[in-house]
Amino acid sequence: MRWTILLLVCTLMAPLPIGPAHATEESPVLATIESGVLKGGTTDGIAAFKGIPYAAAPVGALRWRPPQAVPPWNGERPATSYGNDCLQNRFFADSAPSSEPLSEDCLFLNLWSPVARAGAGLPVMVWIHGGGSTTGSGAPAAYAGARLARKGVVVVTFNYRLGRFGFFAHPALAQDHPDEPQGNYGLMDQIAALEWVHRNIAQFGGDPGNVTVFGESAGGGAILRLMTSPAAKDLFQRAIVESGGGRDHWVRLNEAIADRPSALSIGAAFARHAGVAKPDAAALRAIPAKTVLGDLGLINGETDIYSGPIVDGRIVPGDVDAIFAQHQQAAMPLLIGANSDELGTLPGFILNAMTKKLIAKLGSPGAGLDAIYGSGTASKADLFDDLVFVEPSRHLAECQTASGAPAWLYRFSYVAEAKRSAEAGAGHASEIPYVFNTIGAVASGATEADRQMAETISDYWVGFARSGDPNGTGRPAWPRFAPDTGALMNFTEDGPRPGPDPARARLDAIAALDPVL
């Protein structure tokens, strides 16, 4: 799957009505890190530090450079407000909206801790947000980490460069710093944030040797790449991937593949589009930010002049499915899955058009899929979900198990009580406020059943972060994934239900095609 398919999928995220505003910090709390002293705040016993710079502002001469060290500061730096979001064209129906100011100066992270003192050795959970690599931030209310932190973990969210600011390659940039990795600046930011965690999290009570990365959609896809990246080695010990794909093949830095030119060629096309007569590195970095941003977003992929994330050979050495199949990924515990109705809210004519394009990419083997799925709109939704999200999750769980590492597979099928008459299943990103246990704060009309599901699924996620196994007392046993049984945990409206995958037969048919999307 090209990155544009996942980007288009992200347009499906239905907005959640926003509930109460952020709580006010009750009392100050200080922490000393490598760059200076931070002054955060506590609410109901949970310490929060927001707007912490984890890398220097990537502006001017640092635009399209790997993240650089933060200059130290004197005195106490206030850390009770989120920093700027990275420049983007916000999506009007984002399920996790943010209203923070937009700026190129945006490399900030936020954390919540139940202790905020050195030496506590708590598990750490680092969230990587989705948004098709063009939108999103670490600041939305749905991602607030206080309720997870109350379960005994330190929670970190952060911003990373998006769109052309985060994913851009050009021959002139390669000549300017030939020894530096090129193109995937957003992924380099993610690695820099994890390096910051490794160096500093102990000051907030976290254990740098027990870090779990978790993320959704493009964030989940990024985690899969980090599991294959030499640059991220040893920076985290467990991974949770929510609706992260895994069969998608990214644009190559120097090589044209399928129907797409190389990232360098696409970057050169953008320079011409931007009117840069002499495309040296200085001229490229002088392009106005508004021009770099353009109209790029979840609706408009600008595929002729925007590459998206790149297989560059250094940060991203290759395609995820191939690397996992060769057992060259990090051999760590993996919790992975997808939702029951990722695309269910799409209008039928859009869904049919998207599915038709997917089947065309599969070639002649895809023609037999109608015999499995039928031709109706609901069947097309199943086909698209299976191809893009569900079967890749199972495939990667199989590969992880074959590599000798444990894997746990899930399906999130829970629909909020207030939406059950209108929605047949759980849509894209709908699991997030349950994972963060923020459903009561971000969704109006949340019921006791909704809140209980949030308590339960967040317990599983925290249990996994704590020990590499989601199981614990007081909740149904989640069987470790095994290819012969295909067992998973289905989070249903009747609670967590372990057992065989009801979609196994049709997923077997998809897997037999060995799809590349």
Q: Which are the catalytic amino acids?
A: 217, 342, 428
Tell me which residue has tokens 């290819």.
483
- The token pair that represents 285 in the structure block: 């970095």
Q: Are 164 and 133 in contact (CB under 8 A)?
A: no
Q: How far out from the chain centre does Cα 172 lie?
A: 30
SS percent in the chain: helix, strand, coil, step 5: 35, 20, 45
- Cα 413 to Cα 230, 346, 468: the distances in Å are 35, 17, 23
Number of H helices and E strands in the chain, helices first, is 18, 19
Q: Nearest CA to 69 among 56, 80, 82, 79?
A: 56
Tell me which residue has tokens 């949030």.
454
How far, in Å, CA of 374 to CA of 119, rounded? 58
Can you list the pairs that 364-373 forms with residues at least 24 positions away whose Cβ atoms lie under 8 Å? 365/513, 366/513, 369/509, 372/506, 372/509, 373/506
- The token pair that represents 355 in the structure block: 């599915």
What is the per-residue DSSP string for 184-250? EHHHHHHHHHHHHHHHHGGGGTEEEEEEEEEEETHHHHHHHHHHH-GGGTTS-SEEEEES--SS--P
SS3 517: coil
Neighbour-count burial of 493, counting CB atoms closer than 10 A to its CB (0-12 exposed, 13-18 middle, 19+ buried): middle
- The token pair that represents 227 in the structure block: 């599991």
Q: Are 138 and 214 in contact (CB under 8 A)?
A: no
How far, in Å, CA of 374 to CA of 243, rounded? 24
How far, in Å, CA of 322 to CA of 311, rounded? 13
